[in-house]
Amino acid sequence: MQTNFRMLFTALVTTALVGSFTVNFAHAADDTIKEKVTEAGKDTKRAMKKGARKVKDETCEMVNGKMKCMGQKIKHGAQNVGDKVEDAVD
């Protein structure tokens, strides 16, 4: 009788531990997926901003020439770097 009780107790403890680990890992996986989606959204936003700035720079150069647009090009380069740093911090 005592052997059956020990086996049952061991089985219950093992099941409880395995269940708790499974729930913790499943929760961690959900957080990871959410974080990945958020990160992908931020990367897409940064890439779109960078592309828009590049188009503005190219358009400015075509219309006004390289020398008149140099300040704007430097400003956009600094903004791109700032976005990259901000993304790295997050």
pLDDT of residue 57: 92
Lowest mean pLDDT among 22-26, 38-42, 59-63: 22-26
Angle between helices 2-64 and 70-89 (to 10 degrees): 180
Q: Is residue 1's pLDDT more than 80?
A: no
pLDDT tens-digit series, residues 11-27: 656 765 555 555 555 55
Other CB atoms closer than 10 Å to residue 83's CB: what's the count? 17
How many CB atoms are closer than 10 A to CB 46? 15
| pTM, two decimal places | 0.58
Domain boundaries, position 24: 2-89
Q: Which two tokens stand for residue 60?
A: 């400015």
Per-residue pLDDT at 28 exceeds 80: no
Across all residues in the chain, what is the average pLDDT? Answer: 79
- The DSSP H or E segment spanning 29 is helix 2-64
How many domains does the structure of the chain reveal?
1
Of 51, 56, 82, 50, nearest to 71 (Cα)?
56
